[in-house]
Each structure stands twice: as C-alpha cells, then as structure tokens.
Amino acid sequence: MSKTNHPVWLITGCSTGFGRELALRIVQRGWKLVVTARNLEQVSEIAEMDKENVLALTLDVTKPAQIDAAVKAAMEKFGRIDVLVNNAGYGYQSSIEEGDEAEIRAQFDTNVFGLFALTRAVLPVMRAQKSGHILNITSMAGLIGFPGSGYYAASKHAVEGWSDTLRAEVGPLGIQVTCVEPGPFRTDWAGRSLKQTPSKIADYAETVGARLAGTKARSGNQAGDPVRASDIMIELTQKPQAPRHIVLGAWGFDEVTRMLQVRLEEISGQKDLSLSADYPTG
C-alpha cells in the first residue's frame, strides 16, 4: 500500500454508513485521514478527535471544483495520498420500464461519473509515489442484477468493468485496485441513501413491487456488520497483493458464487455455437 507507517487515507461519503465507520477506525489507529462529506458539519466531529492527523473537507463528487480543491488540500496537509476510498453513492430502485430519467442520471453522476472524476484527480499523486490503493465500494449488485434494482446495478456494474481496466493500467505502476462488494449490511442504507420510484404496473407487483417493499422492511435487521467490514478493508490495504474482488457477508458470498457458477455453465454450454462465429481455419 505505502512505504509509510502512517498512511494517508482519503474517504468519500463519510457522513454515515461504511464511510463513517471506516473513518473512525482510521482515526483509532492514529493514521492520517482526509474525511469528506457533502455537508462538512456531519464530519467535523471526526476531525476534532485528532486535529493533527485528520482533515475534514466538503466534497460533493459531482462538483469538479470541489474534487480539485480536496486533492489540493490533502496534498498541502499531508503531502501524499496512499488510499482512496470511493464510497460516496446511493441507491435507486424502480422497474426498468418506470425508471425516472432525472433520477437515473443523478445516480450515475454520483455513483459513476463522480467516482471516475475523483480517481482521475488522485492518480497523478499515486503515480508520482509509485504506490497507492484504490478501494471502490460497489455492491454485490455490481455482479448480480435483481428485480427493481436495474439502474443501481447498472451504475455498480459500470464501476466494476472500469475497475478491471484501471487495474490493468495502474497495476504495473505500483497502484492496487480492489472492488468491495457488500451484500446486505446494517448501515441504514435503505433509510437514508435509497430513492425509489414506486411501481404502478400490476405485471411487476410480484417482482419489482415485492422487492421495493422488502428492502425497506428488512432495513435494520441485516446480518452484515459495518465495523467488521471496515476492518476487512483496512486489512486488504496491508496486503502486498490485494484481491481485485472482495464480496462481504455470507448471503452475498453465496449468491455471487452461485450466480458465477450458473453463468460459467451457461457460457460453456454454448461453446460450439460460440466458436462457430469465427472464420473457418485453413
């Protein structure tokens, strides 16, 4: 991760959830931290815990000027950035057919384009250091599409595919890339970071409608512990060779591995047809 024993972390979306828990764990270790949120007041008390090692900044990843200012302030304060955690983002649920154009675009601005922009701003720093680790908080929805979550899944799938290319480009330069793919976690995601367009089409009642209602109902009872998840993320940054994927939580792990097995079987089952698409050899 870094040649220093006091790595500098920059974390987005620290007002609640994974971002906040991870920030608190970094402070407890006495490491250096740039803690950010759209509303500075929501993270100012984290900075008060260790004024020497923590810098709190306003950062809306959809605003390029704030991105540039945050990276500049981090470098002026600490002189390096060792770990970038792209955590800022939120959920949006609807049927594909009933998706609201403005909501879809707004979600992509945060979950995808904002993440891309911040990473581009940090990469020159990490390239100069010849070291760094980028943690992209995606979701198991970045690997599986569920009814009612098509546009959210699309945003996370986009980050997953982009991360494959990012890893291929910056890996030889000493920069690691990991996508963190949580299943259900007790972060109040459904209560504070989820928007919905209710389905009014009867044909979707048992798929989309049931999922939208169930997401809200299960909030607060998820098996995943965000504190344990934060410790895992920290552990990953200490590895000489970190994994490209880490699925968090038992249910998420089981669902993702099952889906990948089914997908591989389906692709393998069409091998003859797949190979027949090439020009004949000889």
Domain boundary assignment for the chain: 8-266
Residue 72 and residue 79: Cα distance in Å, rounded?
9
Band of pLDDT at residue 109, cut at 50, 70 and 90: very high
Res 3 pLDDT > 70? no
Structure tokens at 152: 């959210």
Which pLDDT does position 233 carry in this prediction?
A: 97
**181 neighbors 143 (Cβ within 8 angstroms):** yes
Residue 123 and residue 125: Cα distance in Å, rounded?
5
Instruction: Tell me what the pLDDT averaged over the chain comes to.
Output: 94
CA distances from 102 to 21, 38, 156, 208 (A): 31, 20, 18, 20
Res 184 pLDDT > 70? yes
Task: Name the CA radius of gyration of the chain, rounded.
Answer: 20
DSSP symbol at 281:
P
Q: Can you state the percent helix, strand and coil of the chain, rounding each to 5?
A: 55, 15, 30
**224 neighbors 184 (Cβ within 8 angstroms):** yes
Please name the fold of domain 8-266: Rossmann fold (3.40.50)
φ/ψ region of 17 (left if φ > 0, alpha if ψ in -120 to 50, else beta) reads: left
Residues 6+ apart with CB under 8 A from 255: 140, 144, 183
Percent of the chain with pLDDT over 70: 95
Res 254 pLDDT > 50? yes
Which pLDDT does position 223 carry in this prediction?
A: 75
Of the residues 92, 151, 152, 204, which is catalytic?
Answer: 152
Band of pLDDT at residue 222, cut at 50, 70 and 90: confident
**pLDDT tens digits, one per residue of 71-100:** 999 999 999 999 999 999 999 999 999 999
As a whole number, mean pLDDT of residues 248-273 equals 97
For the question of residue 279 being annotated catalytic, the response is no
Res 2 pLDDT > 80? no
Which pLDDT does position 193 carry in this prediction?
A: 72
Helices (H), the chain: 17-28, 44-49, 64-78, 101-108, 115-129, 150-170, 189-192, 210-218, 226-237, 250-269, 271-275
As a whole number, mean pLDDT of residues 30-57 equals 96
As a whole number, mean pLDDT of residues 265-276 equals 98
Which pLDDT does position 1 carry in this prediction?
A: 45
As a whole number, mean pLDDT of residues 151-161 equals 98
Residue 119 and residue 123: Cα distance in Å, rounded?
6
